[in-house]
């Protein structure tokens, strides 16, 4: 049995490197762990079943693998705004810049319209009884704790909280007599500006909890396992960084949710590089092994389905003593041969022909482009500054949908009086040492594309990289009816103002309500309409597109046509 989870899981980690000069006292690891199922509350708040179990699981995982022995736990009716604020004050009073502080909340999340909020909506974590705690209050309380902070949200639409701190449940507020509104997720972040944020699902997805053998929220179930070095230590250095724990758990969350015909895609925002969470504090350089030819049986895929152990666990044999160092780089990755390597399929929107893309309005630029001919773009892939052998396959729109799972309108281009449909690159990279890498993709006429890539041994991962030509940007969005649980497939979306030719600026949304517009000139004056024939005029329809950036938007309609 599965349930859609409308609760909010909040995790905060604070970790700062040791001072460079002078003796250092032993650093502390402090946890405040909170979870409530709302059973017996007086405010009519719907009860939940697994939030307190999630809190207990996270407590056990932190103590077993991270030595967070100073842990204060608030469960059930103890979860109130005053107790949370007091707990955070206590942490601020006794912690120092060398300490690690872990704050975890599991319960309901919601929001309401507030004209004083930066985006008109105020997000709340729901207490056992009123008053509840707003995103601004929580951000203000956390500001008293110095260092690097990480929030993890396990709740419906948590990717929206990750992006701008504003998602909850229920219908989206729309102005009276308006057919709908446009919510722009790009741009500045309102709260938690210096934090690393992790969400259990994308901005428009629900997060589920599963009973039976899992008996937890599916994200918490796997994220807790990812904190265990036996699972999350991708590069075999006996430590787990935040990127490693996220990489290990995110894929399993998505795959497990698919078994229930559910889409759930965890999200990460912020600089988490070099952020050791559990395991050995100072990563051990993995031993270099002889790359001898492996036996056929050595290359069999390893199938492991670890289960969370909710019983008390013994401390690890090599416990963590000082605070985890925080650096700008992930621990080194060592190539120990084929058994410790993985691969990746990278779906991109890099166009095949150098003639493809918007037609330049500058005559000199247009002439230069024509001289290039219908050449195929050259692409180079680097991981941790090393170039790897890459197979390039060019996909049309239907192939891209079948392999990459996204229906992206690719448009067409013309050359020598012929109209040719665009194709984009699928990059397959193999022989990558397991660990976390900086991915760089270099392609003709494109800016250098940079991403963080986590590779597991004997596994082939997949990711989507959205890129527009140098000097251009992208709009990516979804259309919904009233709330984020009702995507609208087949809804016509168009932009009445176009500044280039040979590109598509009108399309019907895909089965999950998605739409894309690629290679747009930078401007603050893009308008989105929800219907070509009916010309639905939406609130907040004006969008900004920046060169090299993806503007993510949600279009929420209060009615499906003007006749309603």
Domain ranges of the chain: 2-172+187-299, 338-465, 473-557
Supply the DSSP string of 225-244, one letter for each residue. Answer: HHTSHHHH-TTSSSEEEHHH
Phi, psi dihedral angles at 252 (to 5 degrees) = -70, -35
Residue 80 has what pLDDT?
A: 97
- Which of 117-121, 137-141, 340-344 has the lowest average pLDDT? 117-121
Q: Which of 284-293, 501-510, 521-530 has the highest mean pLDDT?
A: 521-530
Give dist(CA 538, CA 530) in Å, integer: 8
Of 192, 130, 127, 117, residue with least CA distance to 161: 192
Residue 187 has what pLDDT?
A: 39
Residue 294 has what pLDDT?
A: 43
Q: Which two tokens stand for residue 30?
A: 């402090």
The structure tokens 């007599």 sit at 177
Would the pLDDT of 73 be above 80? yes
Dihedral angle computed from the Cα positions of residues 427, 428, 434 and 436, in that order, rounded to the nearest 10 degrees = 10
Sign of the torsion formed by the C-alpha atoms of 545, 203, 79 and 214: negative
Other C-beta atoms closer than 10 Å to the C-beta of 308 total: 20
Asked if 2-172+187-299 and 473-557 have one fold, the answer is no
Average predicted confidence (pLDDT) for the chain: 77
- Which of 55-69, 160-174, 204-218, 421-435 has the lowest average pLDDT? 160-174
Give dist(CA 12, CA 148) in Å, integer: 9
Domain 2-172+187-299: which topology? Rossmann fold (3.40.50)
Q: Which element (helix H / strand E) includes 223?
A: helix 218-226
CATH architecture type of domain 473-557: Sandwich (2.60)
182-207 mean pLDDT: 68
Instruction: From residue 351, give the alpha-carbon distance in Å to each of 355, 374, 423.
Output: 9, 12, 6
Give dist(CA 458, CA 7) in Å, integer: 35
Would the pLDDT of 148 be above 80? no
Q: What percent of the chain has pLDDT over 90?
A: 26
Length of the chain: 564
Would the pLDDT of 549 be above 50? yes
Would the pLDDT of 7 be above 60? no
Supply the DSSP string of 496-514, one letter for each residue. Answer: S---SSSS--EEE--TTSE
Residue 360 has what pLDDT?
A: 67
428-436 mean pLDDT: 94
- Which of 85-89, 302-306, 556-560 has the lowest average pLDDT? 302-306
The structure tokens 């959205």 sit at 466
- Between 88 and 99, the more confident residue is 88
The structure tokens 């006996």 sit at 238
pLDDT tens by residue, 252-308: 999 999 898 888 889 887 777 777 788 876 666 655 554 444 444 443 333 333 333
Would the pLDDT of 325 be above 70? no
Question: 232 falls in which pLDDT band (50, 70, 90)?
Answer: very high
pLDDT tens by residue, 100-125: 778 888 877 776 767 677 656 677 88
Give dist(CA 54, CA 220) in Å, integer: 7
Tell me the HSE value of 266 on the side-chain side, using a 13 A CA sphere.
Answer: 30
Q: What is the CA radius of gyration of the chain?
A: 25
Would the pLDDT of 550 be above 90? no
Question: 26 falls in which pLDDT band (50, 70, 90)?
Answer: low
Residue 153 has what pLDDT?
A: 80
Q: Which two tokens stand for residue 198?
A: 């992790």
Residue 410 has what pLDDT?
A: 86
Supply the DSSP string of 381-424, one letter for each residue. Answer: EEETTEE--EEEEEE-HHHHHHHHS------EEEETTEEEE--E
* Cis previous bond, 131, omega within 30: yes
- Between 148 and 31, the more confident residue is 31
Question: 217 falls in which pLDDT band (50, 70, 90)?
Answer: confident
CB neighbour burial string for 168-185, b if at least 16 within 10 angstroms, e if fewer: bbeebebeeeebbbbbbb
């Amino acid at each position: 049995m599965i349930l859609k989870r409308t609760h909010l899981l909040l995790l905060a980690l604070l970790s700062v490197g040791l001072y460079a000069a002078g003796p250092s006292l032993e650093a502390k690891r402090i946890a405040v762990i909170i979870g409530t199922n709302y059973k017996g509350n007086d405010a009519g708040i719907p009860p939940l079943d697994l939030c307190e179990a999630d809190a207990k699981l996270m407590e056990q995982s932190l103590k077993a693998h991270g030595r967070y022995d100073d842990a204060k736990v608030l469960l059930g009716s103890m979860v109130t705004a005053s107790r949370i604020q007091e707990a955070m004050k206590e942490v601020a009073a006794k912690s120092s810049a060398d300490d690690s502080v872990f704050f975890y909340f599991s319960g309901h999340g919601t929001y309401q319209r507030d004209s004083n909020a930066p985006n008109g909506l105020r997000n709340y974590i729901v207490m056992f009884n009123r008053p509840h705690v707003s995103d601004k209050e929580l951000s203000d309380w956390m500001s008293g704790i110095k260092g690097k902070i990480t929030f993890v949200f396990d709740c419906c639409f948590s990717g929206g909280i990750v992006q701008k701190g504003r998602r909850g449940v229920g219908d989206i507020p729309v102005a009276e007599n308006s057919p709908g509104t446009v919510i722009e997720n790009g741009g500045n972040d309102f709260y938690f500006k210096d934090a690393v944020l992790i969400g259990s699902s994308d901005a428009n997805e629900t997060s589920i909890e599963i009973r039976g053998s899992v008996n937890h929220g599916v994200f918490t179930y796997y994220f807790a396992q990812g904190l265990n070095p036996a699972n999350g230590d991708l590069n075999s250095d006996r430590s787990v960084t935040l990127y490693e724990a996220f990489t290990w758990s995110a894929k399993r969350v998505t795959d497990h949710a698919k078994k229930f015909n559910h889409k759930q895609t965890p999200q990460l925002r912020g600089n988490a590089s070099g952020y050791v969470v559990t395991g050995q504090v100072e990563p051990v350089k993995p031993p270099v092994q002889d790359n001898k030819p492996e036996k056929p049986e050595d290359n069999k895929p390893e199938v492991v389905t670890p289960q969370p152990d909710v019983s008390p666990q013994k401390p690890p044999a090599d416990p963590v003593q000082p605070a985890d160092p925080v650096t700008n780089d992930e621990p080194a990755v060592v190539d120990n041969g084929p058994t410790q390597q993985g691969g990746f399929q990278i779906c991109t929107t890099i166009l095949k022909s150098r003639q493809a893309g918007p037609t330049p309005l500058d005559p000199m630029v247009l002439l230069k482009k024509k001289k290039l001919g219908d050449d195929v773009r050259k692409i180079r892939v680097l991981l941790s500054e090393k170039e790897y052998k890459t197979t390039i396959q060019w996909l049309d729109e239907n192939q891209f949908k079948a392999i990459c799972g996204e229906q992206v309108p690719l448009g067409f281009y013309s050359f020598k009086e012929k109209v040719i449909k665009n194709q984009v690159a699928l990059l397959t990279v193999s022989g990558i040492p397991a660990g976390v890498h900086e991915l760089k993709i270099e392609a003709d006429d494109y800016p250098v594309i940079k991403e963080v890539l986590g590779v597991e041994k004997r596994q082939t991962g997949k990711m989507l990289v959205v890129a527009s030509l140098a000097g251009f940007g992208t709009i990516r969005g979804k259309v919904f009816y009233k709330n984020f649980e009702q995507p609208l497939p087949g809804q016509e979306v168009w932009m009445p103002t176009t500044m280039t030719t040979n590109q598509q600026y009108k399309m019907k949304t895909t089965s999950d309500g998605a739409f894309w517009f690629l290679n747009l000139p930078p401007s603050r004056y893009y308008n989105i309409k929800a219907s070509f024939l009916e010309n639905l005029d939406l609130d907040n329809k004006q969008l900004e597109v920046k060169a090299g950036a993806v503007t993510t938007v949600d279009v929420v309609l209060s009615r499906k046509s003007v006749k309603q």
